[in-house]
Structure 1
Amino acid sequence: MKRLTSLPALDGFYMPGEFEPHRGCIMIWPKRPGSWPFGAREARKAFAEIAESIADSEHVIMLAEKDVMESARQMLSDRIEVVEMASDDAWARDVGPTFVVNKDRHVRGIDWQFNAWGGHTDGLYADWEKDDLVAGAFLERFGYPAYDARHFVLEGGSIHSDGEGTLLVTERCLLSDGRNPSLTRLEIEEQLKNYLGAEKIIWLPYGIYQDETNEHVDNVCAFVRPGEVVLAWTDDNNDPQYEMSLADLKLLEQETDAKGRHFIIHKLPIPKVPVCIKEEELSGFVFEPGEDQREAGERLAASYVNFYISNGGVIVPQFGDEHDQKAVKILGECFPDRRIYPVYARDIIVGGGNIHCITQQIPEGEVHEKGNSGSGPDEVLRRHQ
């Protein structure tokens, strides 16, 4: 793997929009007993359904630890490439690399520092060593040149790009004490601009209520195309989310993107009934020392914004709530050329995240190098075709 110490923006690289063409998608097979109750039995069914939905239009690479490789192979079709790789949990969005492209559609990866969403300040587990190595290991295995950004803590779920110079983030997450406390807001902006090629950062005040990632942006607001976003919303002014989403809405209405466009904003309802951990689910967890523990009745950060855009579809979380179909309808109107895949996702949200959190897109494009082992990305694509 070629490890790059230059800055992507100076090299002409930037983060494309998720709605742009993909070469494939990274996922990680779940096993952590503190995230996935009852041996990840139900979670694996949901992961498999999501992987197969994505595989209808793009290649899926499922990373799995050695002891669960056979489980993954048994539950997934031959369309899914299962690759042995160590990790602490299954949040591919946050531990995987962020990919950047240039105008010639050459693709490189960024290896950020990962510290379990807050390190020793407010991180969610005590040991994240394997997760912190996933991005670099993936880039090496599949032959992508890697930008070294390990001086900077960032998760993929905390950023959303329109591919045209605009980046969405939340203040609550990127300014949290457990990530880059020695950096000012302007210095954090400088890092985002240098590594993601962003020209303008939109700082939303809040994410989703009770989001234990310090309110990742991918749970509250997402681009559907340049100049157009969906925003998690509730009309219930007794819900704590109401004031949070209202503050985000007011900011978006006042802002313009990097091209000077005002945003088209689609309000996407959150579930009408809060999604909470049940006593019977709680009995299936096995928590490690120092790991954040769930409690019966705890409200989870359920949001329909946490969808994944594949080449041919949009995979949308469902919660058995009366707003499920409304969310599907709104997203169907936002993505008229893509198939909507509704997936029951309660068995993912109990782990603390959702569909977007367990996926990481690899943009379409050329790669400068081949890896020293395993399949190069071009070989993977040929097999998929």
Structure 2
Amino acid sequence: MTSNWWMPAERAPHERTWMAFPCRGYSLGDTAEQQHAARSAWAAVANTIVDFEPVTVVAAPDEAEYARRYLSSAIDILEAPLNDAWMRDIGPTFVVDDDGGVGAVNWIFNGWGAQDWAQWDLDERIAAFVADHLAVPRIDSPLVNEGGGIQVDGEGTVLVTETVQLDQDRNPGWTKADVETELARTIGAKKVIWLPRGLTRDSEKFGTRGHVDIVAAIPAPGVVLVHQQQDSGHPDHAVSREIINLLMESTDAAGRTFEVIPVPAPKVLEDEEGWVDYSYLNHYVANGAVIACNFADPHDQQAAEILASTYPGREIVTVDARPIFARGGGIHCITQNQPATSR
């Protein structure tokens, strides 16, 4: 049974954007050069978004001074202990009710399936910290889930991947029906579409095991953007073909057949770690803008043009996402949108 809470589309008006600042650990790196690169990359995204809407950044106490140094003075900084800086996953998923109020879904976070390199004793508290700071209702969920593991159209359609919500290190014993029931209760899901997996690099050691927000996005009801790896030598060529075919045969919560728009992957195929999962799908929709990934790649312009056509009326602003992807995610992964309230 669907509750009165539902998750609006990212394109709906925002009250603000939430982010976290890199802290001691995997994402920040060990050397001064690595740390500067991480802080600069996160700050570039935050400093771009604040031109369009308010931004709040959560910083670990020992990183707060660096946050103030790298971030625009227009950005609000809150201090709280952190393990990492992926606010999409550790922060709350915001929902609204029929009266225009905002709530915060507090998923269980366990380091993307209790991965041996991850720590999450501090990050697992951030969703509740944000909800309490805002003094909004908190919807606690028994589902181990992350914000990057769901994409919605704002009308009850939800995209997920079997490798995330059914991961036995996340939700042992859960069935698709169990997950769908919980998504209905927490974010108002009416139709859940199960993609079989995510991208190859994201399924390896330092990945999420297949987040959907690097594979697909829904810019408007009945329309879905999908990552397309065009080079047959890359393992994501088969992955993206499978997902495109599945979505072409799927219908949304309103019964519409999707208009599927492939977004070609960057031309680069590998970095020093192996196959890349560079993806233009990991963009962020802000008020009046789309903050898009660029990779200094020949396909950057084509991707920006696709985003401009599918998010009409929004400015397309690109940020170099390579330093973020090198740490395991992208622009969407480090941002979380708080919807505007009508109250």
Calculate the TM-score normalised by the size of structure 2: 0.94
Superposition deviation, residue 172 in structure 1: 1.9
Do the aligned residues in 1 keep the contact of 2:290 with 2:314 (CA within 8 Å)?
Answer: yes
Do the aligned residues in 1 keep the contact of 2:234 with 2:275 (CA within 8 Å)?
Answer: no
Paired residue for 2:152? 161
Paired residue for 1:288? none
Q: Give yes or no for the alignment of 1:70 onto 2:70.
A: no
Superposition deviation, residue 51 in structure 1: 0.8
Superposition deviation, residue 195 in structure 1: 1.1
Do the aligned residues in 1 keep the contact of 2:150 with 2:213 (CA within 8 Å)?
Answer: yes
Q: Give yes or no for the alignment of 1:101 onto 2:96.
A: yes
- Structure 1 residue runs of 4+, over 6 Å off? none
Amino acid in structure 2 at the alignment position of 1:220: V
Q: Which has the larger radius of gyration?
A: 1
Paired residue for 2:303? 327
Q: How far apart, in 1, do the equivalents of 2:52 and 2:320 lie?
A: 20
Moved more, 205-214 or 16-25: 205-214
Query: RCO (CA 8 Å, sep 6+): is it higher in 1 or 2?
Result: 1
1:337 corresponds, among 305, 313, 319, to 313
1:189 corresponds, among 180, 185, 189, to 180
Amino acid in structure 1 at the alignment position of 2:88: R
Q: Structure 2 vs 1, CA of residues 32 and 227 (structure 1 numbering), >3 Å: closer, same or farther?
A: farther
- What SS does the corresponding residue of 1:69 show, helix, strand or coil? helix
Amino acid in structure 2 at the alignment position of 1:33: G
Q: How far apart, in 1, do the equivalents of 2:105 and 2:221 lie?
A: 23
Q: Give yes or no for the alignment of 1:133 onto 2:125.
A: yes
Paired residue for 1:311? 287
Q: How far apart, in 1, do the equivalents of 2:133 and 2:166 lie?
A: 33
Amino acid in structure 1 at the alignment position of 2:125: L
Q: Give yes or no for the alignment of 1:20 onto 2:20.
A: no
Paired residue for 1:206? 197
Amino acid in structure 2 at the alignment position of 1:348: I
Q: How far apart, in 1, do the equivalents of 2:315 and 2:119 lie?
A: 39
Q: Deviations over 1:185-211 (max 9, x none)?
A: 211111111111110001111221220
- What SS does the corresponding residue of 1:24 show, helix, strand or coil? strand
Q: Structure 2 vs 1, CA of residues 299 and 237 (structure 1 numbering), >3 Å: closer, same or farther?
A: closer
Superposition deviation, residue 235 in structure 1: 2.1
- Where structure 1 has 5 or more consecutive residues not aligned to the other structure, the ranges are 1-6, 278-296, 368-385
Do the aligned residues in 1 keep the contact of 2:86 with 2:334 (CA within 8 Å)?
Answer: yes
- What SS does the corresponding residue of 2:252 show, helix, strand or coil? coil
- What SS does the corresponding residue of 1:182 show, helix, strand or coil? coil
Paired residue for 2:140? 148
Q: Structure 2 vs 1, CA of residues 311 and 126 (structure 1 numbering), >3 Å: closer, same or farther?
A: closer
Do the aligned residues in 2 keep the contact of 1:23 with 1:362 (CA within 8 Å)?
Answer: yes
Do the aligned residues in 2 keep the contact of 1:107 with 1:366 (CA within 8 Å)?
Answer: no
The aligned length equals 336
Do the aligned residues in 2 keep the contact of 1:172 with 1:206 (CA within 8 Å)?
Answer: yes
- What SS does the corresponding residue of 1:261 show, helix, strand or coil? coil
Q: How far apart, in 2, do the equivalents of 1:164 and 1:104 lie?
A: 16
Q: Structure 2 vs 1, CA of residues 275 and 312 (structure 1 numbering), >3 Å: closer, same or farther?
A: farther
Superposition deviation, residue 219 in structure 1: 0.3
Superposition deviation, residue 366 in structure 1: 5.0
Superposition deviation, residue 58 in structure 1: 1.0
Superposition deviation, residue 127 in structure 1: 2.8
Q: How far apart, in 1, do the equivalents of 2:230 and 2:93 lie?
A: 34
Q: How far apart, in 2, do the equivalents of 1:354 and 1:174 lie?
A: 20
Q: Give yes or no for the alignment of 1:115 onto 2:106.
A: no
Amino acid in structure 1 at the alignment position of 2:25: P
Amino acid in structure 2 at the alignment position of 1:171: E
Q: How far apart, in 2, do the equivalents of 1:206 and 1:316 lie?
A: 23
Amino acid in structure 2 at the alignment position of 1:343: V
Q: Give yes or no for the alignment of 1:253 onto 2:248.
A: yes
Superposition deviation, residue 226 in structure 1: 1.1
Amino acid in structure 2 at the alignment position of 1:16: P
Q: Give yes or no for the alignment of 1:357 onto 2:333.
A: yes
- What SS does the corresponding residue of 1:117 show, helix, strand or coil? helix
Superposition deviation, residue 66 in structure 1: 0.6
